[in-house]
Structure 1
Amino acid sequence: MPDATDADADADGLTVGQVSARLGVTVRALHHWDEIGLARPSLRTAAGYRLYTAGDLERLHRIVVYREIGLGLDRIGAVLDHPATDVPGELRAQRAQVAERIERLQRLGAGLDRMIDAHERGLLLTAEQQAAIFGPDWDPDSPAQARRRYGDTTQWRQYAERAASRGPEEWQAVADTMTDFDRALGDAMDAGVAPGSPEANRLVERHREVFGSYFPLTRQMQVCLGRMYASDPGFAAHYDGIRAGLATWFRRIVDASARAHGIDPDTATWE
């Protein structure tokens, strides 16, 4: 049905446009509430235009209030039209739902804070916690160094997303898994496991799985890591501290496995 302009408004009522402006409710919403019988205007002009009385406006005010606190239109209608409705009970139930939503949003906010911190810091652990988990030789500045070096990469973002959900216990489990793997590498080298052998290839696959605690590792990326382990003084010292020559041996078993999968270790790139 058409709506009057403000100039056509009857002296005894407000037009849809006037009510919309006064209550901050869209004309479309007012039409819908009229159609479903929630808030019908009491008057019509001679031309059939909707007009809202003071009583209509009071009902609309209550509808707006109840809608703002989250009541659905059906429940609003029950509160307004059914005397037997337990209004305090309805409001208490709504208050409980609001409290639940607030709690969920607070948890979401805390999670976002951790995610932001993880992207900026890497490890959400104190220096003391890092030393306790990763050992006294651990450099607590290494996450910041990694952030400066790799912060714009996909892998840093993947690492940060994993780090955001980890506390000391989870990181301890990661560290223990890496320690067990390093021990297995040293034992395999001592036992004379040959690059390209089934046992060596299983170790290479295990490395990719263990490293997945940080971010997904492709075979080509693993070849690049093998190079770095052998050439970077810090990584080489770590592996050679487990067994002399272990960094070079690890690179050899990674390269042999890569060749078996059609990858040339000499041309492999970080992808």
Structure 2
Amino acid sequence: MKVKEVADLTGISVRTLHHYDEIGLLVPDEVTESGYRIYSSENLETLQQILFFKELGFPLKKINEIISSPTFDRKEALELHRRMLLEKRKRLDQMIETVEKTIQHTKGEIEMSQKEKFEGFDFSHNPYEEEARKLYGDKAVDEANKKAAGMTQDMQERFNDLYRRLADVRHTAPDSKEAQEAIGEWYILLNEFGSYSLDAFKGLGQLYIDDERFTKNIDKFGEGLAVFMRDAMAVYADTRKK
């Protein structure tokens, strides 16, 4: 399949697939003489794994480490995904129940104990780490955690650098080449640490204005930056959905 076909199939942007290729996360099995990327069935299986890990909140760097490991086993990974997603569903179901009870409590329909108000919240353990230690061993996980801890400041600096670059072009039109190139990098960077569809990306831009906390923090890099980013993000999302 060509890159546009893969994008249409999965809902991932062509630019994101290009980025995955550039960082070595998902390299197509074939590139034609004309420069077209051709993805094989095996590539699509790898992409599925990547998206499963992203759904569970894994950053791209950690996903790359896992699927590139000589000990990586696809079947074991699928079992891991299944267990984690079931656990995630269980926690979400519990939290939904807590929210519903809290609504009833707010209306005066029921009484809630202090303990009931916090059912479903659990920050005591990392289920991925526990499973990963079983699959990949303590040493591999400890090394991955060490890298992640060491990258925290670097990650923040990457965000700050891009904020500063966006601030430099904030006086241009949101649909200008400079603005769209910079906001495209913002989209890619966000998707390294989460999972944003084009619609979610556009919605996030609106949140930068609707929530004054976002506006205040973003505008520290330049007055009017939050509004500019919202408009540029909307253009970026809308043009790539056509």
TM range (shorter): 0.3 to 0.5
Higher RCO, 1 vs 2 (CA within 8 Å, ≥6 residues apart):
2
TM-score by length of 2: 0.36
More helix by share: 2
Please tell me whether Structure 1 or Structure 2 has the larger radius of gyration of its CA atoms: 1
